[in-house]
Amino acid sequence: MIEKKIVIEENIYLEKFFEHNRKHEDYIRNRIYKGTLDLINNNPHKIKKVRGYKYKSKTIYEYKIPLEAGLDCRVAYIFHKEEIIIFFISNIIIKNEFTKLVSKLKDVKKI
């Protein structure tokens, strides 16, 4: 059973995402804080690696948050010490396209 602190990183990508989704920001943040550990522990088959890339030298994982029609999003995160750090969220839910977006982020390196 994984017990780590969930941290939503402060960065320009998340700032833009939440600006664009201002109406749902609190709901999305709550879903992340309350649901991430539950998803990792109880539905690990829904967690996928972002293959071929690392963020700050750490393996990148991602999962989809079903919200409502047209508002679903994907979340990218890493494990760092006792924290799960959420560093990117997008309304692009097609995994291949999401991976392309992640690959362009600062601090993401191809391996």
Q: Which pLDDT does position 71 carry in this prediction?
A: 80
Structure tokens at 16: 């833009």
Q: pTM score, two decimals?
A: 0.94
Q: Which pLDDT does position 2 carry in this prediction?
A: 83
Q: End-to-end alpha-carbon separation of the chain, Å?
A: 29
pLDDT above 80 (res 68): no
Residue 111 lies in a domain: no
Residue 84 lies in a domain: yes
Counting the structural domains of the chain, the total is 1
pLDDT above 80 (res 76): yes
Domain that holds residue 47: 5-106
Place of tokens 């109880």: 42
CATH of the domain at 56: 3.30.2310
Q: Which pLDDT does position 98 carry in this prediction?
A: 98
The DSSP H or E segment spanning 29 is helix 25-42
For residue range 32-53, list pLDDT tens digits in order. Answer: 999 999 999 999 999 999 999 9
Confidence tier at 102 by pLDDT (50, 70, 90): very high
pLDDT above 90 (res 87): yes
SS3 100: helix
In the chain, the percentage of residues whose pLDDT exceeds 90 is 88
